[in-house]
Amino acid sequence: MFFKRNFPNTRLRRLRQTSALRDLVSETHLSLTDLIQPIFITNNKDMVGKISSLPDIERIHIEDINREIDMILELGIRSVAIFPVIDPDKKDDAGTYATDEDNFLFKVLKNLTEKYENLITIADVALDPYTSHGHDGIVSDNKVLNDETNIALKDQATLLAMSGAKIIAPSDMMDGRIDVIRNHLDSCGMQDTIILSYAAKFASNLYGPFRDAVGSLNNLANASKATYQMDHRNIDEALHEVALDLNEGADIVMIKPALNYLDVISKVKETFKVPTFAYQVSGEYSMIMNAVNAEIIDKNVMLESLMSIKRAGADAIFTYAAKAISKELKKDE
Ligand code: PBG
């Protein structure tokens, strides 16, 4: 870049004089269609309600899901990521309820598919809501087994797809799972099911409130996921993960968490030029909201954070703040 003119001819403050001018020259735009609202659902009335570590987010009973979706669509949000909260007595070592045809999640997805033609439903593929140890895969001798887990994941993904999930989202970080899942979906006639791969998912310390919400925090009992999720010191490895998942057939790749990994989002988008999503995870959301609620920082920090994730290159963002922010975005329209 070469700029010949200098002060006083060049005054960058000229374009900052009014909000209309600032909007006119703004480089980054966040729209309602970029937002994905995560939702926690349960079939157990005792588990319904507030999640103390996740301000303003509630576990919703499956009977109330339509009301919730109506509200979300009304706000202009079109995508939801649905996470089941499973009764402790349904959890076991192998997470078998994940592939049990009676799993209430499949019925919920069927109902949503029938009722809401334009809703984009995203379903997580991983065993952690279902396992008694809280890991994302099958455990033997204190090891999370890769290939055995992939078999369970392909069955789980297929049942989710057959229940109508538009997008299935493997969040487990097993090696080779996109390949196994894509091939199996295709052999079952589910070629049109989209795979959003949590391609670069880091073993972050920011997932605590989510684990609290789905009840896997106690199951996990401080165990680490570092043997399958990525080391937060690595970015070349993140590109390697993304390359593999794209080769295996992922349609969309995701970086998670978002704010501490803006460099990764930017590099992935620049390198691969494919649909790239980011997950503003529970800990990120919670830190901001707790500080806002304690009046330590202004509530606009949330918008600033989401904008920075978009500026880094994310095409869409999973955020617990989707509903609240959509009201802000509408005000500006
Ligand atoms: C499970 C899963 C996790 C999140 C999404 N899917 C937790 C984990 O990996 O332990 C975290 C989301 C969040 O913190 O908001 N595979």
For residues 73 and 118, what is the distance between their CA atoms, to the nearest angstrom? 9
CATH code, 91: 3.20.20.70
Which residues constitute the domain of residue 182? 28-331
Q: Report yes or no on 20 lying in a domain.
A: no
Number of structural domains found in the chain: 1
The distance between the two most distant Cα atoms of the chain, rounded to a whole number of Å, is 72
Interatomic CA distance for residues 244 and 176, integer angstroms: 8
Question: Is residue 16, in this structure, part of any structural domain at all?
Answer: no
- In angstroms and rounded to an integer, the radius of gyration of the C-alpha atoms of the chain is 21
- Rounded-to-10 torsion of CA 95, 97, 101, 105: -110
User: Has residue 18 been placed in a domain?
Assistant: no
Catalytic residue positions?
Answer: 201, 256
Can you read off the two tokens belonging to residue 55?
Answer: 């301000």
Per-residue pLDDT of the chain (333 residues; tens, 9 = 90+): 666 778 888 899 999 999 999 999 999 999 999 999 999 999 999 999 999 999 999 999 999 999 999 999 999 999 999 999 999 999 999 999 999 999 999 999 999 999 999 999 999 999 999 999 999 999 999 999 999 999 999 999 999 999 999 999 999 999 999 999 999 999 999 999 999 999 999 999 999 999 999 988 888 888 999 999 999 999 999 999 999 999 999 999 999 999 999 999 999 999 999 999 999 999 999 999 999 999 999 999 999 999 999 999 999 999 999 999 998 887 665
Report how far ligand 1's centroid is from the alpha carbon of 171 (Å). Answer: 7
**Residue 273 falls within a domain, yes or no?**
yes
Q: Does residue 180 form part of some domain? A: yes
Check if the beta carbon of residue 153 is closer than 8 Å to that of residue 175: no
Pocket test for ligand 1, best of 196, 211, 232, 280 (most atoms within 8 A of CB): 211
Residue 113 lies in a domain: yes
Give the DSSP H/E element, type plus range, for residue 28.
Answer: none
| Residues at CB less than 6 angstroms from ligand 1 | 124, 126, 128, 136, 171-172, 207, 210-211, 225, 281-282
Closest Cα to atom 11 of ligand 1:
207
Task: Confirm if 244 and 182 have CB atoms less than 8 A apart.
Answer: no
Residue 298 within any structural domain of the chain = yes
Examine residue 9 and state whether it is found in any structural domain, yes or no. Answer: no
